[in-house]
Amino acid sequence: MSTGFLEVRGISKSFGGNQAVRDLSFEMSDGEIVGLIGPNGAGKTTCFNLITGFYTPDAGSVRFRDEDVTALKPYQMARKGLVRSFQKTNILKSLTVFENVLTGQYLAAKQSLWRTFFPGRAVAKTEADARERAEDIVRTMGLAARINAPASLLACGELRLLEVALALAARPAILMLDEPAAGLNSHEAERFGEVLRTLPGRWVRSVLIVEHNMGLVMGVCDRVVVMNFGQKLAEGRPAQVQNDPRVIDAYLGGVAPGVA
């Protein structure tokens, strides 16, 4: 039975004869954290790009809240609530933590040209609400002590938290994170996972995460989808996937997730 939230139906994508994604299908329910894992080159980031409109599928479709969104542009996807992060940081290093998050709210703070030049009470309230929300996001991400610090001074773990804060500023329904724990040590990754678990139901409806850190994936995800050579290899709850012989063999060379 369809969840009616996010449905990926048989999507495929080739580049110069190389099939990066092949007949991939999965669904996300409202309130879930879903992990998308697989070896390097498995097609995970291409899948992200297909879902968010950066690529158009050669076949298949993407549905969000019972609407076919396959042909929409990335900015249209973002306005509907599908917001993604990137492996390469988009932080503005010269701005403070607070200023970065405030700037990220431009999608949600649309106003007419008339109100831009002749602001009234409504505009003032919108700006005040945006500042309050930015502060709340900073606190949620555990960065309150660094709120006025330039982003250039943040440690790697703090930068990753700020990247998520920027994505939250765009008011996503589904937050899509591409390798958010890259470069984090075990303590930072554990803290990051604790923050992620607090997001559904408050700041977002659901989270879709591409990640190589198996400890993080198995600790925060409700379900895991495993890709290999562009196809879905397995799907299920973390414990099921962790002990699936196909996953152990194809993804980790014979070592169960979380062991190595």
Print pLDDT tens along the chain (260 aa).
455 699 999 999 999 889 999 999 999 999 999 999 998 888 999 999 999 999 999 999 999 999 999 989 998 998 899 998 866 667 889 999 999 999 887 655 555 444 544 556 766 777 788 889 999 999 999 999 999 999 999 998 899 899 999 999 989 999 999 988 888 888 889 989 999 999 999 999 999 999 989 899 999 999 999 999 999 999 999 999 988 998 888 765 544 444 33
Same domain, 99 and 46: no
With beta carbons less than 8 A apart as the criterion, state whether 208 and 30 touch.
no
Please name which of 200, 127, 193, 120 lies closest in space to residue 160, comparing C-alpha atoms. 193
Q: Return phi, psi of residue 41, to 5°.
A: 85, 5
Tell the burial category of 201 from Cβ atoms under 10 Å away from its Cβ (0-12, 13-18, 19+).
exposed
Triad 241, 205, 229: Cα angle to 5°: 35
In this prediction, residue 3 carries a pLDDT of: 57
Asked if residue 150 is part of any domain, the answer here is yes
Q: Do residue 145 and residue 214 come from a single domain?
A: no
The residues pairing with 96 across neighbouring beta strands, listed in sequence order, are: 150
Say if residue 130 is in the same domain as residue 161: yes
60 is written with which tokens?
């298949």
- Long-range pairs for 242-248: beta carbons < 8 A, 24 or more residues apart: 242/218
- 101 and 132 inside one domain: yes
Assess whether 45 and 77 both reside in one domain: yes
Q: Does residue 61 share a domain with residue 2?
A: yes
Pairwise CA distance, residues 63 & 121, whole Å: 38
Inside any domain, residue 41: yes
CA distance 70 to 86: 20
Q: Are residues 161 and 88 in the same domain?
A: yes
**Whether residue 165 sits in one domain with residue 87:** yes
Q: What is the CATH number of the domain that holds 158?
A: 3.40.50.300
The answer to whether residues 12 and 33 belong to one domain is yes
Q: Give a yes or no: residue 243 inside a domain.
A: yes
CA angle 49, 53, 58 (to 5 degrees): 80
SS3 90: coil
Whether 104 contacts 169, CB under 8 Å:
yes
Q: How many domains does the chain have?
A: 2
> Per DSSP, what are the bridge partners of residue 104?
none
Query: Which residues constitute the domain of residue 143?
Result: 83-170
* Neighbouring C-beta atoms of residue 169, cutoff 10 Å: 25
- Examine residue 202 and state whether it is found in any structural domain, yes or no: no
Say yes or no: 105 and 27 in one domain.
no
Spatial separation of the C-alpha atoms in residues 30 and 163, rounded to whole Å: 23
187, part of any domain: no
Q: For residues 155 and 91, state if they share a domain.
A: yes
**Please, are residues 216 and 189 in contact by the beta-carbon 8 Å criterion?**
yes
Picking from 115, 143, 170, the residue at the C-terminal end of a domain is 170
**Whether 88 and 59 share a structural domain:** no
Question: Quick check: is 188 in a domain?
Answer: no
